[in-house]
């Protein structure tokens, strides 16, 4: 079926289809795809393997269409033309004439103005509207009944960009993986209420680039900000009708364009925020901070067969999306209605071109791939580390050097692929999150799983020749409870989302410490603070790469909402007034990061070397409360809630680390492991309070003896750890409060004798 829109006129939306061309048009080039401006005009190139023709529609600032230009040339399924006299800032859209045969997976409808998939900027944020659908809403035949209503005046539009941004001496920080600390944060939510940021800049790229925002990141000691989606996305019509919005942004619609709602009004009218985004990256780089983008290439905001037609769906639906056996429908392994088909050359090219653009043109340092398993599926929809997507990135000299982080699952068959990604990739470790939460909340706890997680999930990664840094360790992220809510709520409270509390995760592995939500009970509040410190200390003293959810250091709460994707309000924004109340937690978090930086034994770049003739550089040993090696029975006893981990370094000049864990409800006396060399342990932190010792003199006369005088069972305060550590004898006892941990360091024993090659 071909849709005739020649009769469509002002009464139904835009100007008439036929209109004299005022600009001189030549064939131009089929590359690069998109709109490319130079001093004389703009070259347009659009891929479509099914189109009969492609028109570029030009618009005035008031949204009225001023001209339609049929692209005059076709080269290898790329429609292209060069339009003389056009300038950067020109607003445009596309109309694609071709088959509308939904039962064959084809959905071209020239009545709809489409966004250029390669557009580098949008004219305005994209919000869902009834006229964005390619079929007649409410019709009995649903998507089989095409709409002929022209939506040109109101449809989302693109903007031609020719950036002249001065990068100066900008250099990528290139933080080593084992030095990396990720900080997941939302561009708007971070500075929307930050009082020291000028009001006009709050919630924008410029706000994140401001001195107060960067100062906070530097005080913490994070190395890499991981930004929730900043590629332009769409607000679903359903959310708009509920008075909500797509706050998180996991509904991408333009893979090259920065989200325009984070641009200042002045920048939006010039280049859609492109230069403000670049200025943000440059400012963060100047502070030594990497910029990682959370990218959503697994699906788009066009939904399923009943979703809107905004771009790819109306250009060449079957080339970009995976289709079901009945091609009218999308193969949905993302839970969003559609799945981008990265086994298809046009779709793969789109994704790779976009990634390369963000690295080369926008200077970002890496990517966290949402539902990355969906990208690693071949033409048969089977996941494989040899999928075209992985192979293309591995051989790309630009992308292979970026930080690549996978969310290692999707909703398809064998979608959970934790540990299954190629060498060089990092992965969000959901197993780490679950094991650590379970241990500290006494929920379905497995001590072996907790121990394996603390050791960088070596049991999973080492056999696959993956490094410890491949495990991105996380306790909380945007999706789920914040840290404050994890210790304050047993159940979700998502009523504000408009779904009667049905949305969001039900199994949160959380513990409210005795009361649901707000309370003025001093004991419960003290326990919550201790639990928060326990979780943070575990995170930063584990092997692997830590990720901190932005705001956790400030006690940020979403009041029990564990799915704030649609809450663009104070439920999601940082509460900087509340932050002062949590200054001790912020300082504790920063000190933990500093302590981690001082301990190479925690920041392993590779697994302990155990090849013949080589001594291991790090050994992890586990002890019971008696100071003896853990037995198999103790490992498998669910009643055992206390354990000690000794990370022993054999390198000269490094410290070894001992961590005592007590997740039981009882005060517990630990015997520190004996040491044949008579070394003393320096107490660096005890989560009974928020102090961390950043310097140590473990060779001093012990201040804590076997009598455990300094933190006896009568509840006396812990040794002052604010400035320097307190020495403790090896073999002495140390008492931990219920639900707490303590960490000690001691100088390395030095290199161990290399094992005999014959006996190794």
Annotated active-site positions, please? 370, 407
Alpha helix (H) residue ranges in 417-559: 430-441, 447-454, 458-461, 483-486, 522-540
Please name the residues in contact with 146: beta carbons below 8 A apart, sequence gap of 6 or more.
1, 3, 100, 109, 111, 134, 135, 136
With contact defined as beta carbons under 8 Å apart, do 586 and 572 qualify? Answer: no
Neighbours of 532 (CB within 10 A): 26
Closest of 443, 122, 148 to residue 255, by C-alpha? 122
DSSP assignment string, 686-701: ETTSS-B-S---TTSP
With contact defined as beta carbons under 8 Å apart, do 641 and 662 qualify? Answer: yes
Joined together, the tokens standing for residue 430 give: 């959901």
With contact defined as beta carbons under 8 Å apart, do 646 and 656 qualify? Answer: yes
DSSP code of residue 238: H
With contact defined as beta carbons under 8 Å apart, do 451 and 525 qualify? Answer: no
Joined together, the tokens standing for residue 96 give: 């694609």
CA–CA distances in Å: residue 49 to residues 54, 97, 346: 11, 12, 9
With contact defined as beta carbons under 8 Å apart, do 155 and 234 qualify? Answer: no
Cα distance between residue 658 and residue 673, in whole Å: 9
Alpha helix (H) residue ranges in 287-327: 312-320
How would you class 525 by CB atoms within 10 Å of its CB: exposed for 0-12, middle for 13-18, buried for 19 or more?
Answer: middle
Cα distance between residue 60 and residue 67, in whole Å: 9
Distance of CA 218 to the CA centre of its chain: 20
Joined together, the tokens standing for residue 223 give: 């190395």
Q: What are phi and psi of 177, to 5 degrees?
A: -55, -40
Distance of CA 695 to the CA centre of its chain: 33
DSSP code of residue 260: G
Cα distance between residue 435 and residue 449, in whole Å: 6
Report CA dihedral (109, 111, 117, 118) to the nearest 10 degrees: 130
Closest of 257, 39, 280, 87 to residue 167, by C-alpha? 280
Cα distance between residue 550 and residue 183, in whole Å: 6
Joined together, the tokens standing for residue 535 give: 């979780």
DSSP code of residue 375: G
Alpha helix (H) residue ranges in 598-718: 632-635
Joined together, the tokens standing for residue 217 give: 């990141």
The residue assigned the tokens 């959370």 is 294
Please name the residues in contact with 391: beta carbons below 8 A apart, sequence gap of 6 or more.
none
Q: What angle do CA 257, 258, 263 make, to 5 degrees?
A: 135
664 by DSSP, 3-state: which? coil
Joined together, the tokens standing for residue 578 give: 């509340």
């Amino acid at each position: 079926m071909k849709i005739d829109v020649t009769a469509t006129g002002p009464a139904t939306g835009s100007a008439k289809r036929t209109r004299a061309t005022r600009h001189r048009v030549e064939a131009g080039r089929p590359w690069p795809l998109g709109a490319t401006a130079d001093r004389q005009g703009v070259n347009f190139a659009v891929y479509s393997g099914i189109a009969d023709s492609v028109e570029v529609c030009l618009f005035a600032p008031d949204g009225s269409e001023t001209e339609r230009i049929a692209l005059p040339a076709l080269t290898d399924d790329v429609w292209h033309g060069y339009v003389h006299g056009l300038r950067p800032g020109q607003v445009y859209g596309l109309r694609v004439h071709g088959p509308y045969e939904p039962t064959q997976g084809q959905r071209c409808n020239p009545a709809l103005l489409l966004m250029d998939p390669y557009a580098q900027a949008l004219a305005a944020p994209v919000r869902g509207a009834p006229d964005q659908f390619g079929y007649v809403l409410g019709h009995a035949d649903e998507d089989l009944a095409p709409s002929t209503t022209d939506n040109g005046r109101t449809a989302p539009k693109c903007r031609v960009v020719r950036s002249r941004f001065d990068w100066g001496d900008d250099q990528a920080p290139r933080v080593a993986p084992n030095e990396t600390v990720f900080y997941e944060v939302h561009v708007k939510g971070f500075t929307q209420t930050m009082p020291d940021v000028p009001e006009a800049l709050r919630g924008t790229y410029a706000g994140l680039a401001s001195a107060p925002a960067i100062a906070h990141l530097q005080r913490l000691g994070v190395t890499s900000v991981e930004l929730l989606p900043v590629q332009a996305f769409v607000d679903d019509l359903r959310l708009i009708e509920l008075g909500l919005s797509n706050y998180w942004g996991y509904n991408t619609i333009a893979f090259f364009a920065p989200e325009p709602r984070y641009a200042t009004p002045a920048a939006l009218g010039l280049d859609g925020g492109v230069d403000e985004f670049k200025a943000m990256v440059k400012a963060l780089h100047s502070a030594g901070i990497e910029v990682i983008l959370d990218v959503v290439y697994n699906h788009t905001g066009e939904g399923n067969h009943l979703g809107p037609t905004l771009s790819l769906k109306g250009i060449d639906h079957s080339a970009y999306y995976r289709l079901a056996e009945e091609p009218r429908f999308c193969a949905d392994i993302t839970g969003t209605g559609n799945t981008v088909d990265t086994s298809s050359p046009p779709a793969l090219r789109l994704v790779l071109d976009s990634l390369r653009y963000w690295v080369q043109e926008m200077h970002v340092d890496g990517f966290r791939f949402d539902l990355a398993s969906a990208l690693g599926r071949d033409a048969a929809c089977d996941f494989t580390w040899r999928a075209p997507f992985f192979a293309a990135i591995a051989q790309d000299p630009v992308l292979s050097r970026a930080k690549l982080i996978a969310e290692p699952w999707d909703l398809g068959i064998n979608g959970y692929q934790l540990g299954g990604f190629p060498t060089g990739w990092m992965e969000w470790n959901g197993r780490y999150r679950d094991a650590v939460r379970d241990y500290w909340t006494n929920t379905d706890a497995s001590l072996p799983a907790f121990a394996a997680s603390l050791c960088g999930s070596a049991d999973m990664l080492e056999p696959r020749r993956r490094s410890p840094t491949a495990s991105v360790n996380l306790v909380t992220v945007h999706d789920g409870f914040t840290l404050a809510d994890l210790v304050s709520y047993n159940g979700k409270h998502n009523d504000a989302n408009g779904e009667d509390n049905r949305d969001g995760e039900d199994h949160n592995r959380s513990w409210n410490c005795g009361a649901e939500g707000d309370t003025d009970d001093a004991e419960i509040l003290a326990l919550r603070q201790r639990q928060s410190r326990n979780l943070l200390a575990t995170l930063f003293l584990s092997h692997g790469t830590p990720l901190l959810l932005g705001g956790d250091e400030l006690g940020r709460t979403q009041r029990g909402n564990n799915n704030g994707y649609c809450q663009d309000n104070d439920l999601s924004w940082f509460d900087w007034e509340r932050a002062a109340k949590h200054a001790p937690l912020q300082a504790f978090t920063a000190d933990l990061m500093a302590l981690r930086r001082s301990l190479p034994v925690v920041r392993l770049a590779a697994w302990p070397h155990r090849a013949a003739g080589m001594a291991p550089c790090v050994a992890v040993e586990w002890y019971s409360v008696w100071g003896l090696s853990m037995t198999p029975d103790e490992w498998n006893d669910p009643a055992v809630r206390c354990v000690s981990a000794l990370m022993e370094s054999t390198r000269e000049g490094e410290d070894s680390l001992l961590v005592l864990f007590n997740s039981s409800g009882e005060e517990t006396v630990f015997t520190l492991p004996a040491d044949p060399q008579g070394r003393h342990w320096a107490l660096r932190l005890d989560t009974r309070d928020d102090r961390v010792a950043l310097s140590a003199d473990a060779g001093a006369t012990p201040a804590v003896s076997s009598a455990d005088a300094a933190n006896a069972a009568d509840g006396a305060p812990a040794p002052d750890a604010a400035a320097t550590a307190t020495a403790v004898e090896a073999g002495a006892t140390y008492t931990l409060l219920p639900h707490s941990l303590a960490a000690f360091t001691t100088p390395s024993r030095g290199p161990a004798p290399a094992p005999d090659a014959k006996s190794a």
